[in-house]
């Protein structure tokens, strides 16, 4: 009996040490509600992921963590403050994260977002149009700051929308993205001053995808193995998009006509969470980078989103706007492909 008990305990110690060595942190922005919350809940069920809810509201994040812990008592979940309407907050985020001494970063899901449906543009404390900063510029800066902290096997996922592609949706044809100077989109000046709310949103998502593909190219050129992909959930009417609507409107937004008008397919928060979690954890996506997924299907994103010249322009103009120097070696500290890192195979 004593031997069995000792053996079991030492096996438990070894598996505990293995778990500690293979633990990764995944950061999910806007994880207190909707698809972000469903994804955080899903990933919290994996013992080797520490899930960080990067949210602007501490009490909403705390409620979300309580709900996750009710489901998975052993879940490793934390809150880190991030307000994408403030570039100062974005700049502070890596320091907040470092102070928590969490396992190395193995995943970043850039999920926070949504349109600002006010007809006139509104501006953040940085002087930038809100939907553009929330859906694109804030995440662009955050990714540039965090990429150097990531483990070699990390996966970055940018959440986009079917609306980035005017050929994929009817709404995209009416209020599709409009490519132009980043500064005009950010300040709602020039041609961007006339854009309707959904066109602003679609353009922010288009720029997100362009810079995701540009980051992928830069990582490959520099010999890094961190992967970068874009993903759209389809139409998920139960999130902020559909909350508080009357039953008639709810029926309308789940109808085939509306789904075809706004996007590719109808989904749920749980299905969307499974799809995006899969991109993070499934071995079948190991090494897959620079791709676009609509739900669980890999498809081609819009022709414009894949234009490397436009993407480079957006990248360089955005760097200037958020104050990242082009000389700044933002990828210098990510571990190169050849460099060993802790994995299940190297663990004791």
Ligand X SMILES: NC(=O)c1ccc[n+]([C@@H]2O[C@H](COP(=O)([O-])OP(=O)(O)OC[C@H]3O[C@@H](n4cnc5c(N)ncnc54)[C@H](OP(=O)(O)O)[C@@H]3O)[C@@H](O)[C@H]2O)c1
**Residue 33 is encoded by which pair of tokens?**
């509600």
Q: Please give the Cα distance from 55 to 71 (Å, whole number).
A: 20
User: Does 240 engage in binding with ligand X (CB under 6 A)?
Assistant: yes
Judge whether 87 and 127 are in contact, CB under 8 Å: no
Which span sits near ligand X by CB under 6 A: 31-39, 92-100, 318-326, 328-336?
A: 31-39
User: Does 35 engage in binding with ligand X (CB under 6 A)?
Assistant: yes
Interface residue with ligand X among 45, 114, 197, 290 (CB under 6 A) is 114
Q: Please give the Cα distance from 276 to 159 (Å, whole number).
A: 9
User: Does 42 engage in binding with ligand X (CB under 6 A)?
Assistant: no
Site string for ligand X, 181-220 (x = CB under 6 A): ----------------------------------------
What does the longest C-alpha to C-alpha distance in the chain come to?
79
**Residue 3 is encoded by which pair of tokens?**
């031997």
| Catalytic status, residue 213 | no
- Distance between first and last Cα of the chain: 26
Determine the length of the chain: 348
Which span sits near ligand X by CB under 6 A: 7-15, 69-77, 107-115, 192-200?
A: 107-115
User: Does 60 engage in binding with ligand X (CB under 6 A)?
Assistant: yes
Which span sits near ligand X by CB under 6 A: 26-34, 273-281, 283-291, 302-310?
A: 26-34
Q: Please give the Cα distance from 25 to 23 (Å, whole number).
A: 7
Which span sits near ligand X by CB under 6 A: 41-49, 140-148, 188-196, 229-237?
A: 229-237
User: Does 30 engage in binding with ligand X (CB under 6 A)?
Assistant: yes
User: Does 172 engage in binding with ligand X (CB under 6 A)?
Assistant: no
Q: Please give the Cα distance from 145 to 90 (Å, whole number).
A: 9
Total residues contacting ligand X by CB under 6 A comes to 29
| Shortest distance in whole angstroms from residue 263 CB to ligand X | 6
Site string for ligand X, 73-92 (x = CB under 6 A): ---------xxxx-------
Q: Which of 207, 256, 208, 262 is nearest to 239 (CA)?
A: 262
Exposure class string for 274-293: b at 16+ Cβ within 10 A, else e: bbbbebbbeeebeeebbbbb
The dihedral formed by the CA atoms of 314, 117, 273 and 17, expressed in degrees to the nearest 10:
60
Interface residue with ligand X among 25, 161, 211, 227 (CB under 6 A) is 161
Helix, strand, coil percentages in the chain from 3-state DSSP, rounded to 5: 50, 15, 35
User: Does 252 engage in binding with ligand X (CB under 6 A)?
Assistant: no
Tell me the catalytic residues. 201
Residues that bind ligand X (CB under 6 A): 29-30, 32-36, 55-57, 60, 82-85, 111-114, 134, 159, 161, 232-233, 235-236, 239-241
């Amino acid at each position: 009996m004593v031997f069995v008990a000792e053996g079991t305990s030492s096996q438990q110690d070894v598996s505990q040490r293995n778990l500690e060595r293979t633990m990764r942190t995944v950061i999910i922005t806007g994880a207190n509600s909707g698809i972000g919350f469903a994804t955080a809940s899903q990933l919290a069920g994996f013992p080797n992921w520490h899930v960080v809810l990067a949210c602007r509201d501490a009490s909403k994040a705390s409620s979300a963590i309580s709900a996750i812990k009710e489901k998975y008592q052993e879940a490793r979940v934390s809150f880190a403050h991030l307000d994408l309407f403030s570039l100062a907050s974005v700049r502070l985020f890596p320091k907040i994260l470092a102070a928590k001494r969490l396992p190395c970063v193995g995943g970043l899901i850039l999920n926070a977002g949504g349109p600002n449906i006010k007809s006139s543009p509104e501006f953040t404390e940085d002087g930038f149009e809100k939907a553009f900063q929330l859906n694109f510029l804030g995440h662009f800066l955050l990714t540039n700051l965090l990429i150097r902290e990531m483990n070699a096997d990390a996966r970055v996922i940018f959440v986009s929308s079917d609306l980035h592609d005017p050929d994929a949706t009817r709404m995209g044809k009416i209020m599709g993205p409009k490519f132009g100077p980043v500064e005009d989109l950010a300040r709602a000046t020039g041609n961007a001053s006339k854009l309707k709310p959904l066109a602003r949103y679609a353009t922010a998502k288009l720029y997100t995808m362009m810079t995701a593909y540009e980051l992928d190219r830069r990582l490959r050129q520099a010999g890094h193995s961190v992967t970068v992909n874009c993903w759209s959930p389809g139409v998920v009417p139960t999130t902020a998009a559909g909350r508080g609507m009357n039953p008639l409107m709810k029926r309308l937004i789940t109808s085939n006509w509306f789904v075809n008008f706004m996007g590719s397919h109808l989904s749920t928060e749980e299905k969307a969470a499974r799809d995006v979690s899969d991109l993070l954890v499934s071995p079948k996506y190991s090494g897959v980078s620079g791709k676009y997924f609509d739900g669980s299907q890999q498809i081609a994103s819009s022709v414009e989103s894949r234009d490397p010249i436009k993407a480079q322009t957006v990248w360089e103009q955005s760097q200037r706007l958020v104050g990242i120097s082009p000389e700044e070696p933002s990828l210098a500290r990510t571990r190169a492909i050849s460099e060993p890192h802790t994995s299940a195979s190297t663990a004791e």
